């Protein structure tokens, strides 16, 4: 009985300020993500044979699937009570992790395609038909889900003795007591951080080359702004994914019960990647405005 009490008490007595903070964050994510998904209708009209466009469409699907689960998180943090069943709780909880890692994978595909296009290898990566793009997307989803989904359904949310109440949700920290789960978390976080460092270095190097090529006239060239768009994705990855994975390593190594709350906040921050679609809608507004500012600065000189 003492062991069960130690498991359920921290979550069943969530501080009101903590719950309201998460309600605010997830409400903002839901609204911003929904608006961004609406703006993506303009991208869907573009070239369907482009790997960049196909990657963005897949990214949109990932965001939409996750956004469908956000209202249930808001409901739980408002009521501080879960009445929808343990299995559904595990599914909703797992979706934010799936959203983070699937988004990260499609960011890598998207950026890799843009980097290859910069080196004029992009023509080799174009799909010949729209059907080929669909087959490639379905194949990638099948590989990802086929390799990760079965194990996740079986092991995710498993806790010692099954001692968590069905009225409590998003409290699976005790699974980290397993050495294999700890090792898996270390590996995943290390891979994410290393991949981001590589992408960031490549992006900064390309941007430096473009600026060195055009100098102060860079702001008037489409090539420069194409790299700025790629830089936006690198920054989104840095702001949304890097903090969580750095903290995750610390959290797994310490596994203090009080860190569970902090972990949930960092996890919520990863969902702000849903705002990435706003970069496509905003480019037509910010690019001319920024160009005019640069022109005014040059005239004053």
Residue 169: pLDDT band with limits 50, 70, 90? confident
Q: Reply yes or no on whether the pLDDT at 48 is more than 90.
A: no
- What rounded mean pLDDT belongs to the chain? 78
Reduced DSSP (H G I as helix, E B as strand, rest coil) percent helix, strand, coil of the chain, to 5: 85, 0, 15
Q: Reply yes or no on whether the pLDDT at 218 is more than 80.
A: no
> How many CA atoms are closer than 13 Å to the CA of 223, on its beta-carbon side?
17
pLDDT per residue over 242-265, tens digit each? Answer: 999 999 999 888 877 678 888 889
pLDDT per residue over 170-180, tens digit each? Answer: 776 667 777 88
Cα distances (Å, whole numbers) of residue 37 to 34, 50, 57, 109, 206 = 5, 19, 10, 20, 29
- pTM score, whole prediction: 0.81
What is the per-residue pLDDT for 138? 81
Q: Reply yes or no on whether the pLDDT at 9 is more than 70.
A: no
Identify which of 31-40, 105-114, 207-216, 288-297 has the greatest average pLDDT. Answer: 105-114
Strands annotated E in the chain: none
Q: Reply yes or no on whether the pLDDT at 107 is more than 90.
A: yes
* Total domains, the chain: 1
Q: Is the Cβ–Cβ distance between 261 and 12 less than 8 Å?
A: no
Torsion of CA 257, 261, 266, 269, to 10 degrees: 160
* Better-predicted residue by pLDDT, 13 or 77: 77
Burial class (CB in 10 A: 0-12, 13-18, 19+), 87: exposed
Q: Is the Cβ–Cβ distance between 198 and 112 less than 8 Å?
A: no
Domain region containing 153: 2-300
Residue 7: pLDDT band with limits 50, 70, 90? very low
Residue 155: pLDDT band with limits 50, 70, 90? low
Q: Is the Cβ–Cβ distance between 286 and 199 less than 8 Å?
A: no
Q: Smallest Cα–Cα separation from 220: which of 293, 143, 135? A: 293
Mean pLDDT within 56-81: 90
Would you mind telling me the total number of residues written for the chain in this entry? 301
Residue 191: pLDDT band with limits 50, 70, 90? very high
Residue 42: pLDDT band with limits 50, 70, 90? low
* Better-predicted residue by pLDDT, 278 or 113: 113
Q: Give me the CATH number covering residue 205.
A: 1.20.1070.10
Assigned token pair, 39? 């703006």
């Amino acid at each position: 009985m003492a062991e069960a009490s130690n498991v359920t008490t921290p979550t069943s007595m969530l501080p009101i300020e903590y719950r309201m903070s998460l309600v605010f964050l997830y409400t903002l994510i839901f609204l911003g993500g929904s608006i961004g998904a609406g703006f993506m209708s303009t991208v869907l009209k573009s070239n369907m044979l482009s790997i960049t466009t196909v990657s963005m469409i897949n990214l949109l699907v990932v965001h939409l699937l996750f956004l469908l689960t956000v209202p249930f998180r808001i409901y739980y943090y408002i009521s501080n009570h879960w009445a929808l069943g343990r299995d559904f709780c595990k599914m909703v909880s797992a979706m934010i992790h799936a959203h983070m890692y699937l988004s990260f994978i499609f960011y890598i595909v998207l950026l890799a395609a843009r980097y290859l296009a910069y080196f004029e290898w992009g023509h080799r990566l174009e799909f010949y038909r729209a059907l080929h793009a669909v087959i490639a997307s379905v194949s990638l989803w099948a590989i990802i889900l086929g390799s990760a989904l079965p194990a996740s359904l079986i092991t995710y949310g498993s806790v010692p003795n099954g001692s968590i109440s069905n009225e409590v949700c998003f409290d699976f920290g005790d699974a980290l007591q397993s050495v294999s789960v700890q090792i898996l978390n270390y590996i995943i976080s290390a891979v994410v951080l290393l991949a981001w460092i590589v992408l960031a270095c490549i992006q900064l190097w390309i941007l430096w080359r473009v600026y060195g090529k055009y100098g102060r006239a860079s702001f008037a060239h489409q090539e420069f702004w194409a790299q700025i768009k790629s830089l936006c994705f690198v920054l989104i990855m840095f702001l949304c994914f890097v903090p969580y994975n750095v903290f995750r390593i610390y959290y797994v190594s310490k596994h203090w019960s009080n860190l569970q709350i902090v972990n949930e906040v960092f996890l919520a921050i990863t969902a702000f990647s849903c705002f990435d679609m706003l970069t496509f809608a905003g480019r037509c507004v910010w690019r001319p405005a920024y160009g005019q500012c640069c022109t005014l600065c040059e005239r004053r000189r």
